[in-house]
Amino acid sequence: SAVISQKPSRDICQRGTSLTIQCQVDSQVTMMFWYRQQPGQSLTLIATANQGSEATYESGFVIDKFPISRPNLTFSTLTVSNMSPEDSSIYLCSVAGTPNYGYTFGSGTRLTVV
């Protein structure tokens, strides 16, 4: 299965600023997924990122707040813009594996907004 390097692993940010999270995959993948996990909660999909096209956002998430880049088949970034304390969460990227391996996740970015 693919190996994902996600960074930063954690950050503490001031409200009103932006943070860009990076995910690097060790193999080419068609789709990458970005999830948010609020404290003590489950994972919620933010958007699906295809290479060469705009990301597809889930209900409740908008591009202006969570812009995503996907410049090639091994890399993607998620930016959390104009942050507020409500954005404090763990953000995870994921890539689709074969059904036999399920999906692989990055190690997550723990974001705290103060």
- Interface residue with another protein, options 18, 27, 28, 30 (CB under 8 A): 30
- Segment interacting with another protein (CB under 8 A) among 15-23, 42-50, 62-70, 81-89: 42-50
C-beta of 83 vs 109, nearer to another protein: 109
Give how many residues touch another protein by CB under 8 A. 24
Asked if residue 21 binds another protein (CB under 8 A), the reply is no
Query: Can you tell me the distance from the alpha carbon of 30 to that of 81, in angstroms, rounded to the nearest whole number?
Result: 25
The answer to the question of residue 92 lying near another protein (CB under 8 A) is: yes
Q: How far is the CB of 18 from another protein (least distance, A)?
A: 22
- 3-state helix/strand/coil string of the chain: CCCEEEECCEEEECCCCCEEEEEEECCCCCEEEEEEECCCCCEEEEEEEECCCCCEECCCCCCCCCCEEEEECCEEEEEECCCCHHHCEEEEEEEECCCCCCEEECCCEEEEEC
Taking contact as CB under 8 A, which single stretch among the options 20-28, 65-73, 74-82, 95-103 is the one that binds another protein?
Answer: 95-103
Q: Which amino acid appears at position 66 of this protein?
A: F
Which of 31, 67, 73, 88 is in the footprint of another protein by CB under 8 A? 31
